[in-house]
Amino acid sequence: MTPDPAPTVRQLLAFYLEAGVDCALTEEPVDRLSEADTAPAIRTAAAGEPAQARPARTTPATTLAAPAPRHEIAPAPEAAISSAREAARTAPTLPALRALLENFDGCALKFTATRLVFADGNPQARVMFVGEAPGRDEDIAGLPFVGRSGKLLDRMIAAIGLDRTSAYIANVIPWRPPGNRTPTPQETQICLPFIQRQIELVNPDVLVTLGNPSTQTLLAAREGIMRTRGKWFDYHTGTRTIRAMATFHPAYLLRSPSYKRLSWQDLRSIAKALEPHSRSLENS
Ligand code: URA
């Protein structure tokens, strides 16, 4: 039996692409197996401020003297989560929060993403949409929802008479997971304090979670999107209670267009809640 011929470079690249491996992280290959089992300190300072270097809980003292290069090892998740909580709390404004995230080294996704995808739209908006995590197009543009699903989100927002000048858009995770893989629970927990603070600072009247991951993360919903969508939740921003509704993620609607009808129903409820006489729970 003659062995299969070795794959061509083109075939190998096609294989990688299909597996979601669509970007090179460094110029040179890295032998991960030879790396020491250590975690670096977490940098959380805002841009221009001195970094508050703190050892991760499991970090031996020697690691601080010779930290691993920034892109190589993520800090221990528990240390990163508490560092994220502490950092997010201190951001007084959205630009400060953005600067904080730019300097936060606690989430490994930062080192594989091209750039931070913080938000798009109007920070004064009365409605805020939150998706899961940026994809390839967003990673390149540095803006959320600019690809195919973003075009559909624009149409969904237009259905309630708004656009990106009158709505605010962000994601639970502000860095693209490599190959668009699902973020790990740890990555989500590390990023959670930042999106919670972002919601608090935008202070919308209505929060719309797009799809299951952002609904389960932000609204602590246990059931799937089929059951949670279209219902009103109370969301505590930290300073007040606002109304929140889950609807389908536009990427899901692109795959399953028959659900657009239900999504349009959700959007009608959202539009109603945004009518001038409709007040937030806090005032009712
Ligand atoms: N999907 C998301 O959840 N967010 C984006 O920004 C793009 C696609």
Please state the pTM of the whole predicted model: 0.79
54 Cα–ligand 1 center, Å: 32
Does the C-beta of 183 come closer than 6 Å to ligand 1? no
Query: Which atom of ligand 1 is least distant from the CA of 169?
Result: 6
Q: What is the chain's length?
A: 284
> Which option is the CATH number for 75-283: 3.40.470.10, 3.40.640.10, 3.40.920.10, 3.20.20.210?
3.40.470.10
Does the C-beta of 175 come closer than 6 Å to ligand 1? no
Q: Hey, which of 130, 138, 143 would you mutate to test ligand 1's pocket, going by the most ligand atoms within 8 Å of its Cβ?
A: 138
Q: b or e along 46-70 (b: 16 or more beta carbons within 10 Å of the residue's beta carbon)?
A: beeeeeeebbbeebeeebeeebeee
Does the C-beta of 149 come closer than 6 Å to ligand 1? yes
**What is d(CA 236, CA 219) in angstroms, rounded to the nearest whole number?**
9
Does the C-beta of 248 come closer than 6 Å to ligand 1? no
Q: Hey, which of 109, 136, 249 would you mutate to test ligand 1's pocket, going by the most ligand atoms within 8 Å of its Cβ?
A: 249
Query: Which residues are CB-neighbours of 167 under 8 A, at least 6 positions away?
Result: 121, 122, 125, 127, 128, 129, 157
The CA angle 162-165-168, to the nearest 5 degrees, is 85
94 Cα–ligand 1 center, Å: 20
Query: Which atom of ligand 1 is least distant from the CA of 144?
Result: 6
Does the C-beta of 135 come closer than 6 Å to ligand 1? yes
- So where are the chain's domains? 75-283
144 Cα–ligand 1 center, Å: 6
User: Which tens digit of pLDDT belongs to each residue from 137-158?
Assistant: 999 999 999 999 999 999 999 9
Q: pLDDT of the chain along its 284 residues, tens only? A: 677 788 887 777 777 766 666 666 666 777 767 766 555 556 654 433 433 333 333 333 323 333 334 454 566 789 999 999 999 999 999 999 999 999 999 999 999 999 999 999 999 999 999 999 999 999 999 999 999 999 999 999 999 999 999 999 999 999 999 999 999 999 999 999 999 999 999 999 999 999 999 999 999 999 999 999 999 999 999 999 999 999 999 999 999 999 999 999 999 999 999 998 665 444 43
